Amino acid sequence: MSVLHIEGLASNRKERLKVSICPECMSDNIDQRSSIALRVVCALILIVFVPLGIFIAWVPFVLPIIYQCNKCGVSKRKEEMETMDWRDKETFTDEYQMLEQRLLPYFNTWIEDQDNQVAKLIKAESLFLLLYVTNEQITLHRIKEIDEVELPLRLHTVHLTGNHLKVARNNYLTLTEFGKKLLTDEEAAMIHNEETKRGTKLRDWLRVEDRIAHIADLQSEKMA
């Protein structure tokens, strides 16, 4: 019995040391959206108001638990969240600082990737970002890793899909307040036009102005 008791304590302790992390922006500022109380209320509504609802009152309890990230706004199922042991926080901070040092020369510069798409490399909201402008859309991607600091840069990225860090709205014609912070007025003016070939136009302008500083090879989930 005593052995089982100790094992129980150990596994509880293990669970407590784990924190959920947003897989897109790596924030631990996460809330559970669907609470047990809400599930109970839904079950009661089914029982009281739906004919034979008592037979389906279990349904709310098997629906997936959804977490929302308060930083980037993305919602994910519990099993899609990453977990981190808080004891690894120091390693995590070291890796962050190392990545920052390696990316430092490239902040606020434009890069062109192997598909001839242009992106601005920025640090904002404590994230290392690539702001991509294609003909169809403007998207934001977090840089997870850099394999190669010599040119071409070899970057690993993940697409940020949450609403809190949206760069543009209205079919990509209007920059958000956050989007305006990431671009100079001149760059924003190049993007903020009604042309359909926005990405090509921006790239051609950057090339003519000699503002594409680096070529990158992206090993990415950038359009995921």
State the minimum distance, in angstroms, from the CB of residue 115 to Zn ion: 26
Q: Tell me whether residue 33 or residue 207 sits nearer to Zn ion (CB atom).
A: 33
State the minimum distance, in angstroms, from the CB of residue 7 to Zn ion: 34
Q: Tell me whether residue 25 or residue 133 sits nearer to Zn ion (CB atom).
A: 25
CA–CA gap between residue 194 and residue 84 (Å, rounded)? 44
Q: Tell me whether residue 24 or residue 112 sits nearer to Zn ion (CB atom).
A: 24
Q: Tell me whether residue 47 or residue 124 sits nearer to Zn ion (CB atom).
A: 124
DSSP for 36-87?
A: HHHHHHHHHHHHHHSTTGGGTTTHHHHSPPEEEETTT--EEEGGGSEEEEGG
Residue 205, token pair as written in the block:
């302008």
CA–CA gap between residue 78 and residue 83 (Å, rounded)? 10
At residue 186, the 3 state secondary structure works out as: helix
Residue 10, token pair as written in the block:
């150990």
CA–CA gap between residue 29 and residue 6 (Å, rounded)? 31
State the minimum distance, in angstroms, from the CB of residue 122 to Zn ion: 17
Which residues bind to Zn ion, rule: CB under 5 A?
Answer: 22, 24-25, 27, 69, 71-72
State the minimum distance, in angstroms, from the CB of residue 153 to Zn ion: 24
State the minimum distance, in angstroms, from the CB of residue 76 to Zn ion: 9
Q: Tell me whether residue 124 or residue 213 sits nearer to Zn ion (CB atom).
A: 124
